[in-house]
Structure 1
Amino acid sequence: MSVTALIGTIKGSWLLRADDARQVWRLEGPAFKGWKVTAATREEDGSYLLATASDVYGPALQRTRDFKEFEQLESSPAWPEESGRKLKQIWRLRAHGGSIFAGVDEAGLFRSADGGATWESICGLNEHETREAWQPGFGGLCLHEILVDPTNQDRMWIGISAVGVFRTDDGGVTWNSKNDGVPVILEDQDHQGIGYCVHGLVQDPDDPNKIYRQDHVGMFVTDDGGDSWVRQEDGLPSTFGFPIVMDPHTRHLFCLPLESDEFRIPVDGRFDIYRSTDAARTWAPSSTGLPRSDTYAGVLRQAMAVDGCNPCGIYVGTTAGTIYVSNDVGESWATIPCHLPRILCVEALMED
């Protein structure tokens, strides 16, 4: 078994490869030189799907089995011209239940049931009764999170900035806002249940109703599938941050607090990854080997990932193009000797 971390940047993608011991790493690339690489997923047949974007040619999907030869799909998610919407970027890809789901900017959810040959708009969400009041966050009006219930294919959660979390219980026909307990940041008197800025979501693999939420205004957890949220921030130096990930074996959680909305840099210049070992009730730094001072690069919402090894590996890419890795559930960290372009996404992929 080997581990490959796909690093998507504003100027192409790189691969970080190692065996499952993850002691010695090699960097390969770039692919798609000059293009943004914004998302990736492993498909159920073992192939890989990458999302690319160009300021000139727009977004596209690329398929590969070996990261050496790529095939651009003829079809990709698209808004009809009469909608007046523009599809700027694919933010999230998720393969599940024989389908591929894509979350995009301008915010929407699309599904392909034929391996990407055709795509359908999930109209229950994309034409939601609150749609006219959806507002973008600083990073755009983007659907960047897709969670699925492994026990019920009809149940799914999505996160949109700056709209909030929605859940479907009927396979995408209807969607309900699931933000109770989280402070609203863009209040709309005519449309309740929106105006929330979710930054990151992660789901307990054994309990799909237990979801952790890094929000614009804090860290929250739900035990009832999003029907209610409770703030859980004890030990965090700041309530603001973007990614949140979970070790699938220990259920330990990891995040990177940033100073504030106005100053999106590590608190006091210390690049501190925080870990919770008790379901987000308390947090503490887990940063041995990380920079202790004068570090002001942040981490974007999709630029932290975990692998499936035991002990778990964690991968963090920064806006300055630095990569940090841990092969022991955050007990210690190493810096990969490279200086990449601004890192947009990191995906950890297990290979036979």
Structure 2
Amino acid sequence: MGHHPDVKITVASRGSATGPPDLRGHRPARRCQWPGAHWRLSETTASRRCSGMTDVLLAVGTRKGLFIGRRRRGTWRLSGPHFAAQAVYSLAIDTRGGRPRLLAGADSAHWGPSVFHSDDLGETWREPARPAVTYPAHTGTSLERVWQLHPAGPAAPEVVYAGTEPGGLFRSEDRGETFELVRALWEHPSREKWVPGGGGLAVHTVVTDPRDADSVTVAVSAAGVFRTRDGGASWAPSNKGVKAVFLPDQHPEFGQCVHKIAPDPVDHDRLYLQNHWGVYRSDDAGASWTDIGAGLPSDFGFAVAAHPRRGDVAYLFPITADIDRVPAEHRCRVFRTADAGASWEPLSVGLPAEEHYGTVLRDALSVDDADPAGVYFGNRNGELYASADDGDSWRQLACHLPDVLCVRAAATA
């Protein structure tokens, strides 16, 4: 694990001649703001108790290592890369039980994929002596990468799920140190008809129901959504209403190329889904889906995230098309709904105004649990952006990073 010297982003005092305009003011000049950028908070923002001042941990997985950001008293400090030259496809920040643990799914071109964990907010990392995720010999396959790391709800405080390629779900009961294959999903009768998506045959999303530890929803590319209500003993496809535009039968029982799912924080039966063409909402825990893409410049994309506390609020980053994977209308904009998809508004204050070509991948859009919520995204141009006010305004945290593959954030105080 290699380290470069820490880089610090400081917040200049109000009235500083060196600081850029206020967060809610004019659009800043387009220049990379890391390292050496000085930020100042507007009077409106600074007067809010938590806006941009809550301590936050930010983890950014890239094609060539992991970068860690810490915001303390309004000042960002970033360090890295950890796991130098390893692609970090998955991250989790497990804050359950007051014992924060970071998990990272990294892939070495020499040693292969592994799951690392840190109990000191990313200062040091440990890799188990035996591989944490291993396919049993009878499967005749091996781990290619870990696409998702997901701490389960409070009812299962030690449980972590790992979604992997080639299409296997694993469960840990020791906070991510060892995992076992969930055999019922691996042996599902439909599996022989699953096909790899563009990124491979991957279980890339895991959603757990905070009311019921036995209720788990996963998304598989390209097989669609599957649900269990008995702790993984049995699974059923749950794709009613979701199109597979690339198949002769566009409404199959399974086979959709679902890109991401995000759960509503208030209505636990409500889910948001970004599909390979199509944006959907479920109000019955995934049993059926309704198209909510009207009002977006494109309903193709990879990422979707829900607000951590406000019901009906979700975020997307629309992409032009599957054959033209750049931001819709060549503009860098996050779109937000505040009414569960009945309408959408673009969020672009502080984002680049010129034509933009940075694609945001499925796990590269994230929120923290501060108040107001922080919203973050990174792109394949190596740019990292943050909002400290629910997405109303943005600042660039970093540029010239390797491809950003995943982003996770959590309030730490």
Normalised TM-score (structure 1):
0.95
Q: What amino acid does structure 2 have at the position aligned with 1:12?
A: G
Task: Confirm whether residue 60 of structure 1 aligns to residue 114 of structure 2.
Answer: yes
> 1: CA distance between counterparts of 2:177 and 2:404?
29
Seen in structure 2, the aligned counterparts of structure 1 residues 337 and 343 have a Cα distance that, compared at 3 Å, is closer
The 1:259/1:14 distance shift into structure 2, 3 A limit, reads: same
1:254 aligns with 2:309: no
Aligned to 2:325, the other structure's residue is in SS state coil
8 Å CA contact retained: 2:67, 2:82? yes
Inter-CA distance 287–130: structure 2 relative to 1 (3 Å threshold): same
Kindly state the Cα deviation for residue 222 of structure 1 after the two structures are TM-superposed. Answer: 0.6
Distance 2:173 2:308 in 1: 28
Residue-by-residue CA offset, 1:209-242 (whole Å, 9 max, x unaligned)? 1000011121000101111100001210001001
Q: Equivalent residue of 2:324, what SS?
A: coil
Contact 1:287 1:333 in 2 (8 A): yes
| Superposed CA offset, 1:1-51 (max 9, x none) | 5101100001001012213x64x3221111111111121223333222211
Match for residue 85 of structure 1 among 141, 153, 161: 141
1:167 Cα shift?
A: 0.5
Q: Relative to 1, partners in 2 of residues 1:116 and 1:315: Cα closer, same or farther, differing over 3 Å?
A: closer
- Structure number with greater Rg is 2
Identity of aligned pairs, percent? 37
- Find the aligned partners of 1:196 and 1:65 in 2 and give their Cα distance: 38
Question: Tell me, what secondary structure is at the counterpart of 1:325?
Answer: strand
Deviations 1:302-342 (A, max 9, x none): 00110001111101000011001111111111112432000
In structure 1, runs of 5+ residues without a counterpart are none
Deviations, residues 46-67 of structure 1 (Å, cap 9, x unaligned): 2222111112211111111221
> 1:82: how far off?
3.8
**CA displacement at 1:186 relative to structure 2:** 5.5
2:124 to 56, 60, 69: 69
1:267 and 2:320 are equivalent in the alignment: no
Query: 1 CA distance for matches of 2:333 and 2:179?
Result: 41
Q: Please, what is the CA RMSD of the aligned residues? A: 1.7
Q: In 1, Cα distance between the equivalents of 2:308 and 2:136?
A: 39
1:4-43 aligned at under 5 Å gives the runs 4-19=57-72, 22=74, 24-43=75-94
Equivalences, count: 349
> Would you tell me which structure has more strand in proportion to its own residues?
1
CA contact (8 A) 2:164 2:202 kept: yes
Letter in structure 1 aligned against 2:354? S
Q: What is the CA-CA distance between 1:250 and the residue it aligns to?
A: 2.6
Q: Aligned partners of 1:334 and 1:192: how far apart in 2?
A: 42
Structure-2 separation of matches of 1:127 and 1:281: 38
Report the Cα distance in structure 2 between the residues aligned to 1:269 and 1:341, rounded to whole angstroms: 21
The answer as to 2:164 corresponding to 1:104 is yes
CA distance in 1, matches of 2:410, 2:347: 23
Distance 1:329 1:94 in 2: 23
Separation of aligned partners in 2, 1:248 and 1:119: 28
Paired with 2:366 and 2:178, the residues of 1 have a C-alpha distance of 29
What residue number does 2:400 align with? Answer: 339
Moved more, 266-275 or 149-158: 266-275
The answer for the alignment partner of 2:196 in structure 1 is 136
Against the structure 1 CA distance between its residues 116 and 332, is the aligned structure 2 distance closer, same or farther, given a 3 Å change threshold? Answer: closer
Task: Give the structure 2 partner of residue 114 of structure 1.
Answer: 174
| 2:27 corresponding residue in structure 1 | none
1:38 counterpart letter in structure 2: Y
Contact 1:185 1:195 in 2 (8 A): no
Tell me whether 79-88 or 155-164 shows the greater mean CA deviation: 79-88
* Cα shift readout 1:277-312 (whole Å, capped 9, x = no counterpart): 111111121111111222111000000110001111
C-alpha separation between the residues in 2 aligned to 1:230 and 1:192?
15
**Any idea what the Cα deviations from partners look like across 1:150-191, whole Å, max 9, x if unmatched?**
0111101000111100010001000000000011246498x9
Distance verdict in 2 for CA 1:188–1:118, change over 3 Å = farther
Amino acid at match of 1:55: A
Tell me the secondary structure at the aligned position of residue 107 of structure 1.
coil
- Residues 1-352 of structure 1 correspond to what in structure 2 (within 5 A)? 2-19=55-72, 22=74, 24-43=75-94, 44=96, 45-66=99-120, 67-74=122-129, 75-96=131-152, 97=156, 98-185=158-245, 187=247, 193-251=253-311, 252-352=313-413
Residue type of the alignment partner of 1:78: T
SS at match of 2:184: helix
TM-score by length of 2: 0.81
1:187 and 1:194 in contact (8 A); partners too: no
